[in-house]
Amino acid sequence: MSVYHGRDLKKPTGGARGRNYKVKRKSMTGKLPTNTLLSSRNEVIVGRCRGGSIKVRAVRVAYAIVSNPKTGKAEKAKIVKVLEVPANKEYARKGVIVKGAIIETSVGKAVVTSRPGQDGVVNAILIEEARLER
């Protein structure tokens, strides 16, 4: 299903809204957000974009590629749960993974750095836990 992103009903300065003066074009369509969910398996959708390019959209994910900034190594880790999503508090409750989300993995806490609904994969960086010395 597509969503129309045109601005036909934009109010001109100083005037009232009139009738649509142009026909809706396919170039002005878009898609609904993917809302990548935490699941027990990975599922991606491969779709065509404008210009013939391909976009891989992750619908459900179970694993993330987590990199450790100290060692410089990356490994595949299972996602346990979504802890916090600064963009939308409701996403954490629903288990939606977006860029900037803080997730709990089998390796530790990590911040998502990729856009799963646009890239098709979850890339993350481990968070350094601050330890208080007494």
Domain boundaries, the chain: 33-126
Length of the chain: 134
Confidence category of residue 15, pLDDT binned at 50, 70, 90: low
Q: Which regions of 5-112 does DSSP assign to beta strands (E)?
A: 29-31, 37-38, 43-48, 54-61, 63-67, 74-84, 102-105, 109-112
pLDDT at 75 over 90: yes
pLDDT at 50 over 90: no
Q: How many Cα neighbours within 13 Å face the side chain of 115? A: 8
Mean pLDDT, the chain, rounded, equals 87
Q: How far apart are CA 67 and CA 74, in angstroms?
A: 4
- Which of the listed CATH numbers 3.10.290.70, 3.40.640.10, 1.10.3470.10, 3.40.50.2300 matches domain 33-126? 3.10.290.70
Closest CA to 10 of 19, 25, 26, 31: 19
Q: Which two tokens stand for residue 36?
A: 């990548």
Report the DSSP beta bridge partners of residue 67. Answer: 74, 125
- The amino acid present at 111, given as its one-letter code, is V
pLDDT at 63 over 50: yes
Closest CA to 69 of 110, 103, 106: 110
Confidence category of residue 26, pLDDT binned at 50, 70, 90: confident
User: What is the reported pTM?
Assistant: 0.80
pLDDT at 120 over 50: yes
pLDDT at 21: 67
Question: Residue 90's CB: how many other CB atoms inside 10 A?
Answer: 9
Instruction: Report pLDDT digits (tens) over 82-109.
Output: 999 999 999 999 999 999 999 999 999 9
Backbone φ, ψ for residue 92 (5° rounding): -65, -40
pLDDT at 20 over 70: no
